[in-house]
Amino acid sequence: MFHRLIRRPTQQSFFLFGARGTGKSTWLRSVLPEGPRVVWFDLLDLETEDLFRARPEAFAQRLDALPRSVRWVVVDEIQKLPRLLDTVHRFIERKRLRFALSGSSARKLKAGGANLLGGRAVSLHLFPLTEREVGPAFDLDEALRFGTLPQQFGLKGDVARASFLRSYALMYLKEEIWAEQLVRKLDPFRRFLEVAAQSHGKIVNVANIARDTGVDDKTVATYFELVEDTHLGLLLEPFDSSFRRRLSKRPKFYYFDPGVARALARMLELPLPRRTSGYGEAFEAFVIAEVHRLCSYLRPGFRLSYLRTKDDAEVDLVVERPGAAPLFVEIKSATRASEIEVHRLQRLARDHGRAKPSVWCTANAAEIVGGVEVLPWQAALRKYF
């Protein structure tokens, strides 16, 4: 079992959101195992779901009957029965019970006007495994090809991993989108997911995606919101010191896991050799996903973006840190950085005030090139997160 970096609140109820297969139930059972102080209600259990759907008051009756020793109540897959949240709210206030409420997304809860507990529960998010969580078994090339969903690490061979990822993509469509009635027509959304996979790690061009998908621009924007809300993807906004100006530019899009991105793009059978542009793009997207996960777990005050100037000079990742200079990060799959690349990054950092330039690559050891730190990517993540 993997040791996850996510931290459980000890004094406050919480929602736990995350895409299917990220290990929400497994983590909850490790930190809140059923016992004298913890009671579980699993809404994936058909009998339990049927009972509370037909008679929501039965949930309150069960909570009323709990012994005094119980301090935590876990409700797995709460989005299946959002109306139970009214009862949760009442028992937080009345009995001072603490609740752990898991689900794949808050979108259905919000859309249905569900009671989100008015600040009485914090929201946590669980992602695929980070390199740090995998530990010594981590293999970069395997992670770029097949991702780091926990189930991958119990499978042997490329065929089994590819088959799992294809099934995962279909499961997302069937169980997360269609069953929850999040879109009216499934086929256009299916096409959108495949087209968006071609934009993985690139600046979003809504008009082009709309044309290739066969829907209008507004629908594509809604689809991107849906993918973000169900934690299948991330929109990385452009950096600007003015928040208003930041919103006027186009974001970059990243799927939450490189293996899922390759499955949706139908590229699982293709090799991903080092020292190719495809490998470099995959590595950049992977590192940005790692940073996003670590920020959520360990540095929630950090804000992530990217920078592109009018003459197309680019900073792969900008990390804004409260009380510290923002990091301007160049991400390279190579083992070293050239002085030309370093000087360009230095100039961009200098043009934006106090920004600190840093190059993250696949080198074996850190070095200073032209006054700029060049770090192995694992060392960089440990240093700053």
Split at pLDDT 50, 70, 90, the class of 40 is very high
pLDDT for residue 181: 64
* Whether residue 118 is found in the same domain as residue 179: no
* Whether residue 227 is found in the same domain as residue 275: yes
How does 203-242 read in b/e, with b if 16+ C-beta sit within 10 Å?
Answer: ebebeebbebbebeeebbebbbebbbbbbbbbebbbbbee
* Whether residue 82 is found in the same domain as residue 177: no
Split at pLDDT 50, 70, 90, the class of 304 is very high
Instruction: Flag whether 289 is in a domain.
Output: no
* Whether residue 260 is found in the same domain as residue 277: yes
Q: What are phi and psi of 203, to 5 degrees?
A: -70, 135
Distances (CA, A) of 290 to 132, 287, 336: 10, 5, 21
Q: What are phi and psi of 330, to 5 degrees?
A: -100, 125
pLDDT at 114 over 60: no
Give the integer Cα–Cα distance in Å for 211 and 35. Answer: 54
Write out pLDDT tens, residues 177-224.
776 667 888 889 999 999 999 989 999 999 999 999 999 999 999 999
Instruction: Flag whether 227 is in a domain.
Output: yes
pLDDT at 137 over 80: yes
pLDDT at 119 over 80: no
- The DSSP string of 93-113 is HHH--EEEEEES-SHHHHHTT
pLDDT for residue 197: 93
Instruction: Flag whether 328 is in a domain.
Output: yes
Half-sphere exposure of 28 toward its Cβ, with a 13 Å CA cutoff? 30
Q: What are phi and psi of 275, to 5 degrees?
A: 60, 30
* Whether residue 171 is found in the same domain as residue 278: yes
pLDDT for residue 241: 65
* Whether residue 173 is found in the same domain as residue 278: yes
Cβ contact 102:24 at 8 Å: yes
Q: What are phi and psi of 323, to 5 degrees?
A: 75, 10
Nearest to 385 by CA among 316, 307, 306, 289: 289
* Whether residue 235 is found in the same domain as residue 167: yes
CATH number of the CATH domain containing 347: 3.40.1350
- Of the candidates 84, 109, 125, which is a domain's last residue? 125
Question: What is the pTM for the complete model shown?
Answer: 0.92
- Of the candidates 77, 94, 125, which is a domain's last residue? 125
Residue, of 110 and 272, whose pLDDT is higher: 272
pLDDT for residue 93: 85
Length of the chain in terms of residues written? 385
Instruction: Flag whether 367 is in a domain.
Output: yes
Distances (CA, A) of 47 to 20, 69, 191, 262: 21, 26, 35, 37
Residue, of 92 and 174, whose pLDDT is higher: 92
Nearest to 59 by CA among 88, 80, 31, 98: 88
* Whether residue 135 is found in the same domain as residue 261: yes
Cβ contact 88:101 at 8 Å: yes
Instruction: Flag whether 103 is in a domain.
Output: yes
Split at pLDDT 50, 70, 90, the class of 338 is confident
pLDDT at 112 over 60: no
pLDDT at 247 over 90: no
Question: Residue 77: which domain range?
Answer: 13-125
Nearest to 382 by CA among 205, 132, 175, 11: 132
Q: Where are the alpha helices (DSSP H) in the chain?
A: 24-31, 46-54, 57-64, 84-95, 107-111, 131-134, 140-146, 158-171, 186-198, 206-213, 217-229, 243-246, 258-264, 277-298, 339-351, 377-384
Give the integer Cα–Cα distance in Å for 263 and 268. Answer: 6
pLDDT at 339 over 80: yes
Number of domains in the chain: 3
Give the integer Cα–Cα distance in Å for 268 and 301. Answer: 35
Instruction: Flag whether 293 is in a domain.
Output: no
* Whether residue 153 is found in the same domain as residue 115: no
pLDDT at 113 over 60: no
Which DSSP state fits 132?
H
Instruction: Flag whether 62 is in a domain.
Output: yes
- Say whether 344 sits in a helix, a strand or coil: helix
* Whether residue 209 is found in the same domain as residue 119: no
Which DSSP state fits 238?
B
pLDDT for residue 240: 79
Distances (CA, A) of 342 to 14, 268, 332, 348, 370: 44, 34, 11, 10, 7
* Whether residue 138 is found in the same domain as residue 252: yes
* Whether residue 317 is found in the same domain as residue 227: no
Instruction: Flag whether 61 is in a domain.
Output: yes
- Of the candidates 100, 125, 150, which is a domain's last residue? 125
pLDDT at 107 over 80: no
pLDDT for residue 312: 80
CATH number of the CATH domain containing 89: 3.40.50.300
Compute the mean pLDDT over every residue in the chain, rounded to the nearest whole number.
91
